[in-house]
A = this chain, B = another copy of it.
Amino acid sequence: MGTITQNSKLKTQNLDDDPSVVAPTEAADLLSVKHNWDCPQPLPLECGTTLYGVQVAYETWGTLNAAGDNAIYICHALTGDAHAAGRYQPSDKKGGWWNPLIGPGRAFDTDRYFVVCANILGGCQGTTGPASLDPATGKPYGSRFPTVTVRDMVRLAYCLLRALGVTRLACVTGGSLGGMQTLEWLVSYPDFVATAIPIAASLAFSPQGIAFSLIGRQAIMLDPNWQGGDYYDAPARPDAGLAMARMVGMLSYQSDASMQRKFGRDRVDESEAAYYDPAARFQVENYLHYQGDTLVQRFDANSYLLLSRAMDLHDIGYQRGGIATAVALIAPATRTLVVGISSDLLFPTRLQRETVAAFHAAGRYARYYELESPWGHDAFLIEYDRLTPVISSFLSEGQK
């Protein structure tokens, strides 16, 4: 019973204890450098439009071997970026978003592998997206940026990797939208991928996932500052709408159990007067506001709209005769480790079980690992101690 009273919360975390904040520098941490690549050719998109002058922001760690086949490609999630690992300077407060998994001796071992992460197409962290200048007009694309899909993201990343000299990926991996890309890699470029680790993802986005996406997008479009997407020259941006979209996202990334543990019914001001004040906040409200306000400082509302729609459109079976025939396009030699999270609200484990079943039905290699965790979808950014041995042993099996 106690779990619904204030006193019985297992742990109260303040915002500084946010489990998604990476721990301080360790000896194995890498130094990171921002790179930019200009795609030399036009990029035809799945929707029929062609983008010109596409730029890609990326980072790499480790060294590519002579054969060009020891590369690992890291696919980031909705609001992620190319800075998956390391620090730009040793004094940086935080490392990359998957720093504990990438480095010498870590799960993705940079003593052995050449690790690459690029900001995805449509993003706002250095790769061409809605806030970029349209070469045809010299102004930001805004509402004129075309619909992009997970397949488009993968195609652009493939062009980058070829330009970097990669001949074959030892592994492709990522969580959430990154996991969608991972699965799409297997179908778009089957001979280019030796192993894949899609985490907390699915072969097609679920209607419940689409519903979460829709509500986030509605929030942005409800903000009068959105202006149909052409707000880059305006005095204000749709910050309130984007913050609210982030709140919706953060809700879907957690779980009943994780919120109970972190917040319970604690209030910011525990006085009786505040209890009846409509403007007073429970700690869970304060946390969501904080997350919303923080994202606004680093993300673009149009990219959020575009990338969340790309998640909705993700269906590896679309225009391929369905999921079964699409899975049959995966190379028989490729090994895939499908990771699900027991408490995932946004990608319930039935989706990863269905993924494995589809692989097996097509005679393709897939293994399922369920990460038992109370942290919901966010667990792939938290449970490093448990992910590390699973990933390491899966990759080292391929070496035998």
Interface residues of A, Cβ cutoff 8 Å to B = 1, 3-5, 7, 46-48, 146-147, 149, 202-208, 210-212, 214-215, 218-219, 222-224, 240-241, 244, 247-248, 251, 254-256, 259-260, 262-265, 272, 275-278, 282-285, 288, 305, 309, 312-313, 315, 317-319, 322-324, 345, 348, 350-351, 354, 357-358, 361
Contacts and interface: CB of A to CB of B under 8 A. Distances in A.
22 contacts: A1-B354, A4-B323, A5-B324, A149-B276, A205-B265, A206-B259, A207-B260, A207-B265, A208-B254, A208-B256, A208-B259, A211-B251, A211-B254, A211-B284, A211-B285, A212-B251, A215-B248, A218-B219, A222-B223, A222-B240, A224-B224, A276-B313
B244 A219 contact: yes
Given A275-B313, A322-B5, A207 B263 contact: yes
Q: Closest 9 A-B residue pairs measured CB to CB?
A: A47-B276, A207-B284, A207-B259, A1-B358, A207-B263, A147-B276, A208-B259, A208-B256, A211-B251
Contacts of A312: 282
A212 B212 CA distance: 11
A214 B285 contact: yes
A323 B5 contact: yes
A329 to B, nearest CB: 15
B210 A284 contact: yes
Listed residue (A4, A254, A285, A313) with the most chain B CB atoms within 10 angstroms of its CB: A4
Nearest to A250: B211
B259 A215 contact: no
Contacts of A214: 247, 284-285, 288
A266 B322 CA distance: 13
A211 B281 CA distance: 11
Nearest to A259: B207
Given A215-B248, A284-B207, A284-B211, A265 B222 contact: no
Nearest to A49: B276
A6 to B, nearest CB: 8
A146 B275 CA distance: 12
A204 B315 contact: no
A278 B244 contact: no
B288 A207 contact: no
Contacts of A265: 204-205, 207, 210, 315
A256 B348 contact: yes
Nearest to A218: B244
A322 B7 contact: yes
Given A251-B208, A276-B46, A284-B207, A354 B215 contact: no
A387 to B, nearest CB: 24
Nearest to A205: B265
Contacts of A3: 350, 354
Contacts of A211: 247, 251, 254, 259, 284-285, 288
A5 B207 CA distance: 11
A204 B318 contact: no
Contacts of A241: 222
A273 to B, nearest CB: 9
Nearest to A7: B322
B1 A324 contact: yes
A199 B3 CA distance: 20
Query: Which of A7, A203, A265, A305: most chain B CB closer than 10 A?
Result: A265
Contacts of A4: 202-204, 206, 323, 351, 354
Contacts of A324: 1, 5
